[in-house]
Amino acid sequence: LPVRVYKNEEIASKKVAQKIADLIRRKMQAGEKTVLGLATGATPVRVYQELIRLHKEEELSFDNVITFNLDEYYPMQPEASQSYVRFMDENLFNHINIRRENIHIPDGTLEKEDIAQYCLNYEKKITKAGGLDLQLLGIGRTGHIGFNEPGSAPNSGTRLVTLDDLTRRDASRDFGGKENVPTKAITMGIGTIFKAHEIVLMAWSRKKAPIIKKAVEGEISGEVPATYLQLTDNVEFVLDKAAASELT
Ligand code: F6R
């Protein structure tokens, strides 16, 4: 499993942003669109900051970029402060020249009975766009990627899932208490993520070291969904020293 370790989060994030920028420019030159799978949370924030800088200072254009976010809480109103719609707007989309119609984030406002069809359609849209060129991932302390919690099937698609208790505890600060964290989310599946041409999983800080050890060196199992990434060779782990500190 290719693991790259950088001195700190800032340097690592710049590397990832540069990789994305190179991809966008290469595809643009070939007259093609770039399809990015994006993540929210603390981990990718500096990557997005660097992409914004590249847009403002180095003419990186997002005119030919299509994005699909991994997940959204359910239920969730887009204008709520914890929504991933809001997160993406504030941390990236409001600061670059992406077309609104090219942005896709799972809809947290659906009626329950409409979710299954919506999820199938989300998959179809990814396929129709040509598939994900590059998927960015963080990792939760449960070993989740997207919100594919322990027990997720390796061939799972986009669907409604129940969040793990630890995931809700980790989100409790954003919601002012665990009891306010939604119990569910809509997430791309492991199978959806696997179809990406390239996958980059990032992790920073000591807090992530134990789960990174399991993900990289542990037995492949649904108990730690990130271990499924050991089965593909188009994944790269990008870590800071602290997150890599338990690797042998
Ligand atoms: C977010 C997502 C999650 C996070 C993970 C880590 O879209 O899919 O898997 O990547 O929970 O969260 P942070 O980065 O906040 O530690």
CA pair distance 199, 34, nearest whole angstrom: 14
Q: What is the mean pLDDT of the chain?
A: 98
Distance 43 CA to ligand 1 centre (A): 7
Residue 155's pLDDT band, with cuts at 50, 70 and 90, is very high
Write down the pLDDT at residue 106.
99
Residue 75: strand, helix, or coil:
coil
Residue 201's pLDDT band, with cuts at 50, 70 and 90, is very high
Distance 147 CA to ligand 1 centre (A): 8
Of the chain, the percentage scoring pLDDT greater than 70 comes to: 100
* pLDDT tens-place string over residues 4-41: 999 999 999 999 999 999 999 999 999 999 999 999 99
Catalytic residue among 50, 72, 123, 149: 149
- CA dihedral (80, 81, 85, 90) in degrees, to 10, reads 140
CA pair distance 198, 235, nearest whole angstrom: 6
Residue bearing the CA closest to ligand 1, atom 2: 146
Q: How large is the C-alpha radius of gyration of the chain? A: 17
Residue 1's pLDDT band, with cuts at 50, 70 and 90, is confident
Pocket of ligand 1 (CB under 6 A): 39-43, 70-71, 138-140, 144-147
Write down the pLDDT at residue 71.
99
Degrees to nearest 5, angle at CA 6 with 193 and 8? 100
Residue bearing the CA closest to ligand 1, atom 11: 140
Q: Which tokens in the block code for residue 202?
A: 């990032």
Res 226 pLDDT > 90: yes
Does the annotation count 149 as an active-site position? yes
* pLDDT tens-place string over residues 79-122: 999 999 999 999 999 999 999 999 999 999 999 999 999 999 99
CA pair distance 139, 209, nearest whole angstrom: 11
* pLDDT tens-place string over residues 132-154: 999 999 999 999 999 999 999 99
Q: Which CATH class is domain 3-240?
A: alpha beta
Q: What is the ipTM of this complex?
A: 0.99
Q: Which of 37, 33, 27, 24 is nearest to 201 (CA)?
A: 37
**Model-level pTM?**
0.98
CA pair distance 178, 226, nearest whole angstrom: 24
Distance 198 CA to ligand 1 centre (A): 18
Distance 144 CA to ligand 1 centre (A): 8
Atom of ligand 1 nearest to the CA of 137: 10
Q: Which tokens in the block code for residue 93?
A: 């989309």
Atom of ligand 1 nearest to the CA of 43: 14
Q: What is the DSSP string of 87-125?
A: HHHHHTGGGS---GGGEE---TT--GGGHHHHHHHHHHH
Q: Of 38, 147, 187, which is best to mutate to test ligand 1, by the most ligand atoms within 8 angstroms of its C-beta?
A: 147
Write down the pLDDT at residue 75.
98
